[in-house]
Amino acid sequence: MPEVQDQAIIQAVCDTFAPSLDAPAGADDATIAFYRDGAKARGIDVAVAGAVGSLDALTRGAVASLLERLGPDFASADLETRTATLLAVADESMRLRLGVRQLKAMTLATLVGAVDETGTNPTWPALGYPGPASKPPAAPKDFPLVTLPAGEAELDADVVVIGSGAGGAIVAARAAQAGQSVLVLEAAQYRNEADFRQIDSLGAATMFLRGGSLWSSSGQMGVLAGATLGGGTVINSMVCLRTPEHIRELWTSYGLEGLDGPEFDKFTDMVWDRIGVNTDATQYNANTRAMITGLASLGYRHERLPRNAALDDDATMCGYCNAGCQQGKKRSTLHTYLQDAVDAGARVVVGAHVDKIVTEDGRATGVLATVDGTTSLSVSARNVVVAAGGIESPAVLLRSGIGGPAVGKNLTLHPAWIVTGVYEEPVEAWHGQIQSAVSFDLTQVVDGGGFLVESLALNPGTWGGQSPFTDGRTTRDQLRKLPYFATWHGVSHDHGSGEVYLDADGRAAVHWNLDDDVDHRIAVRAHTELARMHREAGATEIFTFHWSDQRWTKGEDFDAYLTQLADSPIDDHTAFSAHQMGSCRLGADPATSVADGWGQLHDVKGVWIGDASALPTAPGVNPMITVMALAERTASALVKSF
Ligand SMILES: Cc1cc2nc3c(=O)[nH]c(=O)nc-3n(C[C@H](O)[C@H](O)[C@H](O)COP(=O)(O)OP(=O)(O)OC[C@H]3O[C@@H](n4cnc5c(N)ncnc54)[C@H](O)[C@@H]3O)c2cc1C
């Protein structure tokens, strides 16, 4: 909890983002309440002040710097002065901007995204947002888990797997099916259909890494990853794309023997079959139809996306997919490989955060973990599979002092550049399948690099928290247009990279800047192409997630807007990453890679990399299938080694 004086400043900052305002003349009761009840009336200012202490070291530090810079006078200044001060201070340094960004996101995402005990948010009637379509079913919570007593515990296994997501679940299943004793340690908790409430803010708080609030040190990259039993596969959008041929050839040249041949086709087919990938259940919602109109009008092609959804998937429920599929139609690892693993005898512990891998004479001997914060668990195992995801896997190796100089380097993120159009007719982009079409036509437009065009999920909290801020009234006015938003992103293929390092608390932190010239040019091209598509599809207003408001309104000079987007300062760009890869990559050279071409660490025998962090480069397509096929391949090598 910050000092009393700091609390007063934080509360004044919250009240600047969401002040109490008069509604426009003639507004109905819901709209009057939406304008009137700002951060103070809703208790958001007090809640945010209370929550700042639990942020990670980087953002906590950025908020502390901001409070120092604003000083005590800020709390007593009028609204206009506070607004101007915050905007000016955010331009002084990226660290101060991160502090402003964090408090803005917490305030506005809470205002329109957080729910009360009844599962609703009081602003939704004014925004036209319907909230959940149905209640969670009474699904039994019967996934078999091992529970441990508080205090100290010891376990033995042949193979211990760290993380239960796309990669870890596969290696666990294959090792257990090969007759090994397998223990899966998953840091997050077990949630299933009975817990999925179709509320994005709750889904993020309970099933995303750091509650969905992890920023790169520059604040330019928001990092989204799954943290629940089953990892990202439980909350992802089910886009299934095979590894591109040219990427397979490149990785073969890096020392991943045979990756360009039939054996990797076989591993990919195995995954494709097990998670039931199909296009038969794929349906376009209004958001995606608008995107297809924009693409076609500019002469760009699109394809129907393959998804790992059951064939009787009910598309009307799919807008809440990133908060888990209440219908149980998402063929996540929880319903596939993790089940296979326990069917073959694997044991699973949740709430088990692996702190360190233990080694002796260059060989793995086990891991040390903390379970539910109360149990110190020591596991003896001759094989350790690191599959904690692209952000946490390198942190495990760094804390263990193993993996060599490349650990944490080469982090690729598929930076996603988001552009939203406001249409004359309601789009209600929260209805229907989040992602159902893709265009590959712009994947090689900037020095051989480029981006995929795909649509996105829409929810009030994200658009409230991340849309550019100019003043409290404009923010409220804009949010009332939510049903008219169509929103798409350009998912770019990294040219440069970032890095995972350990912060002051020994936790994973991310360094990433838009400092690579090719990546910058891809970002500009993505923003301008998506803006052109929106205009072709009939948008009357277009805006981006740049820090400063980059907006076009019908009647204004569109070419001038494209120039403005192209000329916007590099630091103004804001990206999001749902794909973190490469931070413990495979390869032949121990100076530039962490593990050999089959996944075993160069410097420690018996430690294997089994997740997205193993990818030698970004694949340039949504990575789940690649992560899983590579995990099948690594599992085959692990099984051969027994
Ligand atoms: C919102 C969203 C949408 C996405 N949509 C798609 C899509 O449509 N298509 C696609 O291809 N990809 C998508 N992805 C990406 C995809 O889900 C990931 O690439 C994939 O899940 C990565 O697999 P992984 O095994 O590396 O890690 P994860 O699946 O993230 O699993 C890692 C697990 O390790 C656990 N863990 C972390 N640290 C520790 C520790 N110290 N000890 C023990 N356990 C630990 C975590 O809690 C987590 O459950 C999406 C991701 C997100 C966030």
Q: Each residue of 128-169: pLDDT tens digit?
A: 999 999 999 999 999 999 999 999 999 999 999 999 999 999
* Cα angle value 430/433/435 (rounded, 5°): 105
pLDDT of residue 224: 98
Q: Give residue 98 CA to ligand 1 midpoint distance, Å.
A: 25
pLDDT tens figures, 30-87: 999 999 999 999 999 999 999 999 999 999 999 999 999 999 999 999 999 999 999 9
Q: β-strands 437-439, 214-215: how paired? A: unpaired
Distance 204 CA to ligand 1 centre (A): 13
- With tokens 């095979």, the residue in question is 242
Residue 5 has what pLDDT? 78
Residue 623 CA: nearest ligand 1 atom is 11
Ligand 1 atom at minimum distance from 580 CA: 19
Residue-level pLDDT at 2: 66
- Distance from residue 231's CA to the centre of ligand 1 (Å): 5
From the CA of 185, give the closest atom in ligand 1: 43
pLDDT of 311-342, one tens digit each?
Answer: 999 999 999 999 999 999 999 999 999 999 99
The strand pairing partners of 553, in sequence order, are 541
125: its two tokens: 């009637």
Matching residue, tokens 């091209």? 525
pTM above 0.85, yes or no: yes
pLDDT score at 3 = 76
- Centroid of ligand 1 to alpha carbon of 583 (angstroms): 14
| CA–centroid distance, residue 165 to ligand 1 (Å) | 6
**Under 8 Å between Cβ of 97 and 547:** yes
Q: How many CA atoms within 13 Å lie on the side-chain side of 618? A: 27
Helix, strand, coil percentages in the chain from 3-state DSSP, rounded to 5 = 40, 20, 40
Residue 237: predicted pLDDT: 98
Closest atom of ligand 1 relative to the 610 alpha carbon: 25
Angle at which helix 517-537 crosses helix 286-297, to 10 degrees, equals: 100
Rounded distance, CA 115 to CA 129, Å?
13
Q: Which one, of 457, 205, 165, lies nearest residue 332 by Cα?
A: 165
- Give CA–CA dist 210/224, Å, rounded: 9
Instruction: Report the separation in Å between the CA atom of 155 and the middle of ligand 1, taken as the mean of its atom positions.
Output: 26
352 DSSP β-pair partners: 371
Q: Are 626 and 588 in contact (CB under 8 A)?
A: no
**Ligand 1 center to 55 CA (angstroms):** 21
Q: Which residues line ligand 1 (CB under 6 A)?
A: 162-168, 185-188, 224-228, 231-233, 235-239, 322, 352-354, 387-390, 392, 396, 435, 578-579, 611-612, 622-624, 627
Measuring from atom 15 of ligand 1, which residue has the nearest CA? 579
Residue type, 210: R
* Residue 376 Cα to ligand 1 middle (Å): 25
Nearest-atom number in ligand 1 for the CA of 435 is 8
Structure tokens at 31: 């709209």
Closest residue by Cα to residue 175 from 635, 641, 637: 635
Question: How far is the centre of ligand 1, averaged over its atoms, from the C-alpha of 298 (Å)?
Answer: 34
**The predicted structure's pLDDT at residue 437:** 98
* Gap between the Cα atoms of 345 and 338, Å rounded: 11
Tell me what pLDDT residue 1 has.
Answer: 57
**Gap from CA of 89 to ligand 1 centroid (Å):** 35
Q: Which residue has the tokens 């920023």?
A: 215
Query: Could you report the average pLDDT of every consecutive run of 10 residues in the chain (642 residues)?
Result: 82 98 98 98 96 93 97 97 98 97 97 94 97 96 96 98 98 98 98 97 97 94 98 98 98 97 98 98 98 98 98 94 97 98 98 98 98 97 98 98 98 98 98 97 96 96 97 98 98 98 96 97 98 98 98 98 98 98 98 98 98 98 98 98 94
- To test the pocket of ligand 1, the residue of 393, 579, 626 to mutate (highest count of ligand atoms within 8 Å of its CB) is 579
For ligand 1, atom 50, the nearest C-alpha belongs to: 236
Query: Measuring from atom 12 of ligand 1, which residue has the nearest CA?
Result: 624
Q: Name the residue at shortest CA distance from atom 49 of ligand 1.
A: 231
Closest CA to ligand 1's atom 9: 239
Helix (H, G, I), strand (E, B) or coil at 211: helix
